[in-house]
Chain A
Amino acid sequence: KAGVTQTPRYLIKTRGQQVTLSCSPISGHRSVSWYQQTPGQGLQFLFEYFSETQRNKGNFPGRFSGRQFSNSRSEMNVSTLELGDSALYLCASSLVVGQDTEAFFGQGTRLTVV
């Protein structure tokens, strides 16, 4: 079966702009989580969606938002981009919320803010 698909793979934006990243989970998976990966901070949890509802949220400013559609696809939006937002953004899908089970990660979107 197809894996988790994240688009785009690479993105370059300037400070102040906004960006939308997309994640299509594995077919049948209803939970999607988003993470930010940076060399300095490691992997940090952004938020988790299940059945179009945000179930858990990490410690990120309100500039980071997301949503999930009825087909379980999820989008993440970052507004007013800052240089420090440059990172690899990963999403992971799993069957149920809480991820107390297997989670499958996408290849990530590499965002560079200049």
Chain B
Amino acid sequence: DQQVKQNSPSLSVQEGRISILNCDYTNSMFDYFLWYKKYPAEGPTFLISISSIKDKNEDGRFTVFLNKSAKHLSLHIVPSQPGDSAVYFCAASDGDDMRFGAGTRLTVKP
């Protein structure tokens, strides 16, 4: 069962604009959420995380928003840069298990 879903397999945005990647989860026991970025032929690298006690976490151009009532989180990248083009995975943890979404491929066009 897919407890973490990224319903958009791909997203294309113009350089300088905002990229919004979405992620939905079903398990209310998840209390820690992460975003990973992955380039081709490499493993994912950690990008940003958020605990369930917060609804927003910011790190430079990257902001993650958490809506616990909707079981939804999103990653905002502002402004988007061509180097941001990669596959982005969201992940959720309940302290024991970690579940991943299938990924969203972001393409930022110059």
Contact = CB atoms under 8 A, between A and B. Distances in A.
A58 B43 contact: yes
Interface string A12-47: 000000000000000000000101010000111110
A88 B97 contact: yes
Per DSSP, chain A at the interface is: strand
Contacts, number: 63
Interface bin, chain B: 20 to 34
A3 B102 CA distance: 11
A103 B105 CA distance: 10
Question: Interface residues of B: mostly helix, strand, loop or mixed?
Answer: loop
Interface residues of A, number: 28
Nearest to A47: B43
Contact of B99 (A45, A48, A56, A107): A107
A105 interface: yes
Interface stretch (A69-77, A78-86, A92-100): A92-100
Given A102-B87, A102-B102, A104-B102, 8 more contacts: A33-B43, A44-B43, A45-B44, A99-B38, A99-B103, A101-B9, A103-B89, A110-B97
15 contacts: A3-B1, A42-B46, A43-B44, A43-B46, A88-B97, A98-B41, A99-B87, A101-B9, A101-B105, A105-B99, A105-B102, A107-B97, A107-B99, A108-B97, A110-B96
Interface of B: 1-2, 9, 36, 38, 40-44, 46, 87, 89, 91, 96-100, 102-103, 105
